[in-house]
Structure formats: structure tokens, C-alpha cells
Chains A and B, each alone.
Chain A
């Protein structure tokens, strides 16, 4: 029986049954009209969703930590370019946590959504602005990076460096005044342990 069945790819298409399936399977399919809007909304919502200021389980486990101080939910590239012009609507600052003053801890968790990044580093006065000193680790969530660092009490300026070249400030943190060039540094204030 198998001898009667065409086996080459072109021969398969000459078989009426296969040709029929192919013809129907090639019928165009269309998505809903607002599909692209929904994708873009999802992209932006995903960036916002990385702001885990006080997730219930985590809060207990790290109750002595200052949670999520420098939380930045940036879309890669929008921070630098956006800040030099007008802020993009995608900026997630509206749902961001309050300014990162650390009330009762000395360990600060930094989170940033940097889709497409190969490396992300935290730089600040606490590590002499050394790009190699405090790399962030990629989390299970695609494009989301995090690092937890001990900080002494006081006011600290910091920024993120993506792929070793792109400096980003944290849109959810206060700025350290006008920068001479590029984005201004962000500020986190640690009040010290009680």
C-alpha cells in the first residue's frame, strides 16, 4: 500500500487529500483589531509588575532588610533617550513605590527591568562607581535583574549600567540634582538600624 502513497514533498501536494488540508490550513487568520495594543500594554504592565515592594512572604523572610529601595522598572533604552527629551508614556513611575528611604535596615534590594540586557551593574558612591563591583543577577522573570547590597546609614547616590555602557537613573527614586551630563544619579537614604 505504501507504494501507492507519494513520498516526496511535492508529490504529497499532488495528493488530493493533502492538497485539501493544505488549502484549508493556508486560509488566513486574523487577530483582533486591538491586538498590538494589548501586546504593548502587556509589555508595559510586565515592567510594572516587577515592583515587588512588599510581597507578603518576602517581607517576613527579610523583615530586617529594607525592601526594594531602588526599584527601577525601566524599559531598556527609554530611560536615557526619554530623559533627554520627553518622558515616554511607558515610564512606569506612576505605579512605582515611594521614594526609597530605608527606615529600619541596612540591606537594600535593587531591581530593574532591562529587557534585552546582557549585563546590568549597580554603581554608586558605596562602590566607588565601579562598574565591575556589583553586578545584578538575572531573575526568573525575563529581563528583570536584581541585587541585594548592604549599605551603611546615610545618603547614597547610585545608577544602573546596562551592557557596560548605558547609564540609567532610577525613575522611582529621587534625583541627586542636575547632572553635568547624562542622567542624574538616583538617591537612596538609609536611616540605619534601630
Chain B
């Protein structure tokens, strides 16, 4: 990851194809975030594509090319917010569109029982308000610090902590209610 800066400089020097390297390095991580935020592959890929294109066009404004990933992630988060707001609701059709679901059954750290449980979990995630879902994903899936989250979202650390807490409370409520 450390030589993202070199690739960024290569792109800025006119080598557009070098941008493929940056895309290849980060697309899977970014895709996971977009899929979880938006709930379906089509919206997620569109948001991701939009983010990479916008990042390319603004590449000269990337203040720290070595941290291209965080900078681009910020653009992606904005695109997901915009797309999510335009669409209105997180769609409960998440699961059928998610090919990864088939391999998601029974993650080692859970007592997962298969696609049914995955569907339940993803649906609970989708029922969070967008800001809480974003904060939850950044904290526990991307494993960012609150300072990094603040950099990406533009929100304060205290607001983010509150959202993470709220997201956890809501998820617990949704999932435990189902099982009790």
C-alpha cells in the first residue's frame, strides 16, 4: 500500500492505465463497504465506479498520495450517501443479489446456520439508519480508528462514537428479538 503515492504520481504524469493498479488494489475492500452500505450489487458497483472516476478527476487534489486509499474511501462514502439518499430506502432484496452470501454461511466466529442467518443479519444491518450503518461498518468491518472515521466522514469523533453505540444497540435489539 505504501507505494500508492508512486502510482498516483505516475497517473498524474499522464499514464492513465496505471490507474488500474490503484483500482485493483482497493476495489475489493471498497466494494465490500459499498455492498454493505447499499445492499445490492448494482447500486454498489455504480457507486464504486463513480467514486473511482471522481477520484481520478480530482487526483491532483489528493494532498497525500501515499494515503490514496483513505482519500478515495472518503469519496466512496460520499457517493454511497448520495446514492442512498436518492434511493430512499435500503432494499431488503439484499441477499439474493449478493453472491458472497453462498460462501457466507457459518463464519468461524459465529454459530451461523447458513444463508438464512446471513439474510437475517444483512437485513438487520439494512434496517439501521444510514449514518449508523456507515459508522458501524467503518468501525467494525474496516476497523478504523475514530480519528480515521472522522477524516472520512467529516463528522466529529463524539458523534461517531454515539452512532456506533446506537448501531450496536439497534442490531442487538433486532437480532435478539428474533431469537428470543
Contacts and interface: CB of A to CB of B under 8 A. Distances in A.
B104 interface: yes
Interface of B is mostly: helix
A118 B45 CA distance: 29
A22 B141 contact: yes
A30 B100 CA distance: 8
Contacts of A29: 28, 31-32, 34-36, 44, 98, 100
B170 to A, nearest CB: 11
A46 interface: yes
Contacts, number: 163
B54 interface: yes
Contacts of B100: 27-30
Interface residues of A, number: 49
Interface stretch (A6-14, A55-63, A148-156, A169-177): A6-14
Contact of B57 (A19, A22, A88, A115): A115
A54 B27 CA distance: 37
A105 B45 CA distance: 45
Contacts of A16: 110-111
B163 interface: no
Interface of B: 11-17, 19-20, 23-24, 27-28, 31-32, 34-36, 44-45, 48-49, 52-54, 56-61, 98-101, 103-104, 107-112, 117-118, 121-122, 124-125, 136-137, 139-141, 164-165, 168-169, 171-172, 175-176
